[in-house]
Amino acid sequence: MKDPTLVVAGLLTLSAGTFAFRFAGPVLRKRIAFPPRAERLLQAAAVVLLTALVATTALTKGHDFAGPARPAGVLVGGVLAWRKAPFLVVVLAAAATTAVLRLLGIP
């Protein structure tokens, strides 16, 4: 490992900054009265962020394509979720599909 002092400094910077991000949203929300349309926009913003997170974590690894096995698993999970399958089935089917594809040599 590199200089431990520097690693601690980085670790504390990341911790403090992340906490500040988490603290800021609810505080701002309390201080500002949002009109109904902005409220709607803010709720949609969370769904948009989470969808983008699903897309990027399912399809990419670093800056590249993750390989077909992981997105295939997530797709199976997504179809099951859309068909109102239980949560447990959705998550396990996603992992199992990806695992089976990898077993078959698909990355």
Partner 1 sequence: MSSIYRTLTGGTLRDIALACLAVWFIGLSYGAIAVTSGFPLWVPAAQSVLVLAGASEFLFIGIVAAGGNPIAAALAGLLVNARHVPYGLALPDKIVTGRGWRRLLGSHVMNDESVAFALAQGDLPRQRAAYWACGLGVVLCWPAGAVLGALIGSAIGNTGAFGLDAMFPAVILALIVPALRDWVTVRAALIGAVIALAATPFLPAGLPVLLALGGLAGLLRPPPRPPGRPPLRPPGRPPRRPLRRAAG
Q: Does 28 bind partner 1 (CB under 8 A)?
A: yes
Which of 24, 104, 105, 106 contacts partner 1 by CB under 8 A? 24
Q: Which of residues 59-98 bind partner 1 (CB under 8 A)?
A: 59-60, 62-64, 66, 69-70, 73-74, 77-78, 81-82, 84-88, 90-91, 93-98
- 79 half-sphere exposure, CB direction, 13 A CA radius: 8
Q: Does 104 bind partner 1 (CB under 8 A)?
A: no
Check residue 67 and report its DSSP letter: -
